[in-house]
Amino acid sequence: MVDQAEKPTTEIHDIHTNNPSEWSLESVLPRTGKPWYKSRHLLLLNLGMIVPYLSSTTNGYDGSMLNGLQSMSQWQDFFGHPTGTRLGSLSNGVIFGQIAAFPIAPWLCDHTGRRFPIFLGSALLVIGAILQCAAQNYAMFLVSRMVIGFGGLIAVEASPMLVSELAYPTHRSVLVGYYNNLWYLGALLAAWITYGTYFMGPNLSWAWRIPSLLQGFFPLLQVIFVYMLPESPRYLVQKDRYDEARKVLIKYHAGGDEDSPLVDFEMKEIILSIQTAKAASQTGYREFLSTRGNLHRLFIIIAVPCMMQLSGNGLIAYYLHLILNSIGFSSDPQQLRINGGLTVFNLGVSIILASFMEIVGRRRLFLFSTVGMLACYMIWTILSAINEQRHFEDTSLGTGVIVMIFMYQLFYNAGLNGPPWVYVTEVLPTHLRAKGTNIMQIAATCAILFNGYANPVAMDAISWKYYIVYCCVIAVEIALVYFGFPETKGRSLEEVALIFDGDKAFGDVHEKQNPDEV
């Protein structure tokens, strides 16, 4: 129950019932008889999602760029051919910056909205890219990467939240799924930019400085255009700015129809969900330990990022050159071409697979992904072992490993690229979304730190035998998904709460006779 002063000033019409668990999104969707891209308001809204998508693109650019730089003799010579923990520190420089941003990012999202953190983080990314380009030694390059990590985390935490909370209800899963897929657009551009600049000359440092500077291009676009997007209506309701939230929904979801049943439905669900959460809210992060439903959420938001980072993909994302060296593909142009081809493949496959999320469901994609990755890693491991025994003389075995890398990426993209952000934003209620996303980032960072230091050392020490570790890890992931991941497809953000909290998801609203009292 809330005070009279907290009630929305706009009228919210009765929809079907006073029981929120019985409301139906399907029943209030407008029947226009035309595709969404012929509705101007939906076209503009969906095109506007490109701005927060660029946070993922920048993130992908970073990983692929560092892969490309490691295959460039110009970069290796300039920084003294770093290996082991010294190389790991450069990869983890971004992570060090992210760790510093952890306390700040959720506070910014909760107190300033979703747009300002994207603006601030992107501005810092531009500064970091300039410093990276101007680096004169190892230390300066490392500091620039820390600045990039600090700004990048702030922007990345807010971006998928803005997409999820602003998207049209029936478009949400696909739009959020595309968010992480745009990682590969950045990776593709970085891979081919480094391939092109490699041929500038063997002693020219601009061969690696140009790709480093271009890392600031997409963040610069975000700085310029982010305030052309509306603020999240769920954030506005959380701050009791009901009229502003309703205006956003009317303009972008109803095409200006102030009497839209869809807007009434969305406003009522958002208000009920947030006000119930405020009434039941505990202190900070401890709320994740307060109920069985929240403990289940905590398990998911820790398990998902660990799966995203500890399924063997870290080897491909940051240390592809070590894998290729281990199977006899050691020339710089050859490695750069494989890196570039892999990013083209990943971008196309990930976009296609994202379209199946609402058809197949999240849980089935997770299972399909993990089982497929395990099969690929097992074959990959066997081929690598035989290749080493034959002293890399049988090129078909090395080619087979590369084929398995491509197949592995197909399965990885099916379940651990697009679906994770959709799934996490769905299972978290609005008042816990920023904190939950922060926990997810912390878990991912811990996993990435492991990748950054353990992967290069292990690959140098035991080569293909290290793949056996990932075979075991993926097998455990299959069990976690099967027993711990419920299906969430076909539900609004507020309806997903019923899976975890039952009727308690909407508090004592069932006892009310008039839903407008909430």
Residue 328: is its pLDDT beyond 80?
no
Structural tokens at position 206: 């601009």
Q: Between 104 and 418, whose confidence is greater? A: 104
> Angle between the 332-354 and 395-416 helix axes, to the nearest 10 degrees?
30
Q: How many residues does the chain have?
A: 518
What is the Cα–Cα distance from 172 to 362, expressed in whole angstroms? 13
Residues 6+ apart with CB under 8 A from 199: none
Range ranked top by mean pLDDT from 12-16, 265-269, 272-276, 492-496: 265-269
Give the position of tokens 């710089």. Answer: 332
Q: How confident is the model at residue 21 (pLDDT cuts 50, 70, 90)?
A: very low
Give residue 318's pLDDT.
Answer: 65
What is the Cα–Cα distance from 175 to 182, expressed in whole angstroms? 11
Q: In the chain, what are the domain boundaries? A: 27-517
What is the Cα–Cα distance from 514 to 518, expressed in whole angstroms? 8
User: Which pLDDT tens digit goes with each residue over 126-153?
Assistant: 999 999 999 999 899 999 999 999 999 9
Q: How confident is the model at residue 409 (pLDDT cuts 50, 70, 90)?
A: very high
Residue among 493, 501, 486 at smallest CA distance from 291:
501
What is the Cα–Cα distance from 82 to 453, expressed in whole angstroms? 13
Average pLDDT estimate for 29-51:
89
Residues 6+ apart with CB under 8 A from 144: 93, 128, 129, 131, 132, 134, 135, 212
Structural tokens at position 490: 């076909």
Is the overall model pTM greater than 0.85, yes or no? Answer: no
Q: Between 53 and 92, whose confidence is greater? A: 53
**Mean pLDDT of all residues belonging to the chain:** 84
SS3 182: coil
SS3 10: coil
Say what the alpha-carbon torsion angle 117, 120, 125, 130 is, to the nearest 10 degrees: 180
Residue 1: is its pLDDT beyond 50?
no
User: Which pLDDT tens digit goes with each residue over 461-486?
Assistant: 877 888 899 999 999 999 999 999 99
Give residue 399's pLDDT.
Answer: 86
The sign of the dihedral angle between the CA atoms of 510, 511, 516, 517 is negative
Average pLDDT estimate for 105-120:
93
What is the Cα–Cα distance from 300 to 321, expressed in whole angstroms? 32
Residue 315: is its pLDDT beyond 90?
no
What is the phi/psi pair of residue 199, to 5°? -85, 10
DSSP for 14-60, please give it: --S-S-GGG--HHHHS---SS-GGGSHHHHHHHHHTHHHHHHHHHHH
Average pLDDT estimate for 170-176:
84
Give residue 89's pLDDT.
Answer: 81
Residue among 285, 287, 292, 284 at smallest CA distance from 484:
292
Q: Which CATH number fits domain 27-517: 3.30.450.40, 1.20.1260.10, 1.20.1250.20, 3.40.50.12780?
A: 1.20.1250.20
Residues 6+ apart with CB under 8 A from 168: 36, 42, 45, 46, 252, 253
Residues 6+ apart with CB under 8 A from 174: 354, 355, 357, 358
104 within 8 A of 441, measured Cβ to Cβ = no
Give residue 280's pLDDT.
Answer: 55
Give residue 4's pLDDT.
Answer: 36
Amino acid letter, residue 256: G
Give residue 120's pLDDT.
Answer: 97
425 within 8 A of 175, measured Cβ to Cβ = no
What is the Cα–Cα distance from 285 to 358, expressed in whole angstroms? 31
* 186 alpha-carbon distance from chain centroid: 13
User: Which pLDDT tens digit goes with each residue over 281-314?
Assistant: 555 788 898 889 999 999 999 999 999 989 988 7
Q: What is the DSSP letter of 488?
A: -
In Å, what is the CA distance from 229 to each residue of 72, 157, 177? 39, 17, 19
357 within 8 A of 174, measured Cβ to Cβ = yes
99 within 8 A of 185, measured Cβ to Cβ = no
Amino acid letter, residue 225: F
Residue 174: is its pLDDT beyond 60?
yes
Q: What is the DSSP letter of 198?
A: H
467 within 8 A of 381, measured Cβ to Cβ = yes
Q: How confident is the model at residue 249 (pLDDT cuts 50, 70, 90)?
A: very high
Residue among 518, 411, 366 at smallest CA distance from 6:
518
Residue among 500, 498, 499 at smallest CA distance from 509:
498
265 within 8 A of 15, measured Cβ to Cβ = yes
Rg of the chain over Cα atoms, rounded to whole angstroms, equals 24
Structural tokens at position 54: 């660029």
Residue 371: is its pLDDT beyond 50?
yes
User: Which pLDDT tens digit goes with each residue over 421-448?
Assistant: 789 888 988 778 878 888 998 898 888 8
Average pLDDT estimate for 221-248:
94
Amino acid letter, residue 66: L
Give the position of tokens 């080619």. Answer: 399
Strand runs labelled E in 323-381: none
